[in-house]
Amino acid sequence: MTELSFIHRFEPATDSSRPPLLLLHGTGGDENDLLGLGRTISPGSALLSPRGKILENGMPRFFRRLAEGVFDEADVKFRANELADFVTEARKAYGLEAPIAVGFSNGANIAAAMLMLRPDALSGAALLRAMVPLSETPPVDLAGKRVLMTSGAMDPIIPADNAKRLAASLSEAGAEVQHHMLPTGHNLSQTDLQLLVKWFSEQSR
């Protein structure tokens, strides 16, 4: 593992037609959590998987929160920029194009914040159980960026209207957003997996 600003795992690409993935875990996960998911949804992609630097009761996260669903927005902005800087470092170290972020929960929220604050760091994003990361969306041009969002209609953590608001704000900024509201809770389902595989097969054409 190359020494960069985040503890991370990296797996080189075995299929150059597949985009590199930036894998961003949920609360309490680590850099190993989403490697299997990455291999399944985009076989052959280079995988870059950092560990969040914030600890909440010993559980890694990508930014601080004040309570469930209440984010420390100053920290969100700082951490999104810090993670985007890491992506720049890793691209140089490993010879990567701009990756597509694949984030779950807290990882999806930091990916959404990166799209809003540092859009050049990512070529697109798959946001799994994401919510609005910043109360005011900064002016940003996301034209040409493809975003997949999957949300749970029965998610006890993320209200459906919050997820819809995030999808709308990304669309308004020019992103090509596919948003699926699934009959499930906060955990990922088989349907999430099928949607991801289909979406990624379209990315590498």
Contact 1, 8 (CB under 8 A): yes
How distant is the alpha carbon of residue 131 from its chain centre? 11
Would residue 49 show up in a list of annotated catalytic residues for this protein?
no
Q: What is the DSSP letter of 94?
A: H
Q: Which of 115, 98, 87 is nearest to 177 (CA)?
A: 115
Query: Which position among 42, 49, 105, 151 bears the catalytic label?
Result: 105
Options 75, 171, 186, 204, the catalytic residue: 186
Taking the C-alpha atoms of residue 160 and residue 129, their distance in angstroms, rounded to an integer, is 10
Would you call 186 a catalytic residue per the annotation?
yes
* Catalytic position from the list 42, 45, 123, 155: 155
Q: Report the amino acid identity of residue 188.
A: L
Residue 169 annotated as catalytic: no
How far is 166 from 107, CA to CA, in rounded Å? 15
Question: Which residues belong to the active site?
Answer: 105, 155, 186
